[in-house]
Structure 1
Amino acid sequence: MRIIIFLGSFSLIVNGVGFGDSDEVKSVSAMEGESVTLDTYIVKQTDDLIVWTYGPNKTIVAIINGKASSFRLSEDDRFRLGVNLNNQTGDLTISDVRTDHTGLYSLKISSNSTPSYKNFNLTVYTRLPVPSITNSSSSERSLSSKCVLLCSVMNVSHDVSVSWYKGKSLLSSISVSEHSIIRSISLHLECLDDSDVYSCVINNSISTQTQHLNTDVCHKCSDSPAMRGFIIKSIVLPVFFLIIIICVCIHNRRGAKDTKDYHHLTTNDHQGPV
């Protein structure tokens, strides 16, 4: 008798029914509008009763009654349309998922032995908005101070990361959620060169949105006070001093020539006519 029970249990495990602990939860993520399948990884037996429930209240999502060969879906509005149950495996597929599909899904398979369970925690993310970049520096100060840029994100339903990048190098990052008071991250620049590539990136675990910095948003390095000062110090001032030196040299040469001519005339006057 013990041998028969052992063989019966072994048969259930081989066919995939005897899976996992009822406390084990598999995490599944999807983007709003996508199709997601919760895989059972089993081969359904003829008499297996398969029941999918949702949430802490165990709302019925779908049922396959093996003995009666019947199939029934939930009367809940969330699951009446776009839900499909595979008759061979018991896999649950939800087409065009929405954020209200987020939650815990439990699978129960009952046969001639002890029921088996599997749990899935489905998280449906809304599509990320494109971040916006603004210059928080006033127009009056923009040419005399740093360029302060803000990257902001609105209407996020889950935690996202908001980051500034220069090329592929991460400069700074913050975490933002729908409950966050601060939803922007700043970037301080002395000026912006045409070769600089800055971008603001927001992302969650399955999606990313990027906004590249427009070079017109911040003043160019060639227009900045520091650059003007550098040009004056490195080019204008040396040229100015060079001109002064040339003028002084010319003046000295003329003075020396005039002195020489004067001495020559004076010498001739003392010698008198021959």
Structure 2
Amino acid sequence: MYIKRIRWSFGHRHVIAEINVTADRFSVYDDVLDGRFRDRLKLDKQTGSLTITNITTKYIGHYELLMNGLTMVFLLSVYDEISVKKGDSVTLDSDLTEIMDYYWIQWMYMIENTLIAEIYKPANSMTVYDNVLDGRFRDRLKLDDQTGSLTITDIRMKDAGRYQLQTGSVSKSFNLTVCGQTSVSVIEGEPVSLYSGRTEIMDDDVIRWMFGNENTLIAEINKQTGSMTVHDDALDGRFRDRLKLDNQTGSLTITDTRIADSNDYRLQSNFMDMLFRLNVYGDLNISCTCFIL
């Protein structure tokens, strides 16, 4: 398509870049909105594509492209990466200093797009939905009525995932990673399961199980490609035919455990980083025949 004129606007009102071939004008407006976009905009003269560098949450919103009389609208969402230890608390910050009288704020947990909390200012209502997802968040959600920020207390592994704040035309997302350590013991020969603590793996997640100090990959699930792989040949085939991976939760089961299986197992995903310390003990119930001389 031959481009005569392109205009990029932020929030439908603020022109931030434009190309006018007829007037031989190529402009990036760094100073709009208190210089928010200064030194961050790159406009491609050939295609008219716009690149924003060093993204932060203040760039969330609608971007409008006017090109040769056609209009396209893009909604930009920015993910905050947050890591927290199991048992701690975390606050998902709305970046608002106050809630306007016409605001409707909704917090979603992105497994099944579940609404977990909301503020509806026109009715002056504030609600925390404790009973959703089988009561997973019961008594652990706190909503700030001044800013709309959400606090989750006593973090658990199954709280890991993506949370989204929606208020008007602004969408803000958080990737919450939960870190933890668990000790597991089993008698040699018995099976043992290392539980992920999840009930479901998100569609864009990748689950990896690693063994030992060298973090040798022994099993993985890639939900993006729909693949599930157990690496039987790793470590000279030590785990051959003894690993079972749960495609629903990502949990790992080791059958016919051996003393040599004792070690650290690490579960890593886009939303989890968990260490399991497995101890395999010999059977203590050994009968002994004594002879009196």
Q: Which structure would you say has the larger Rg?
A: 1
Normalised by the size of structure 1, how large is the TM-score?
Answer: 0.45
Larger relative strand fraction: 2
Normalised by the size of structure 2, how large is the TM-score?
Answer: 0.43
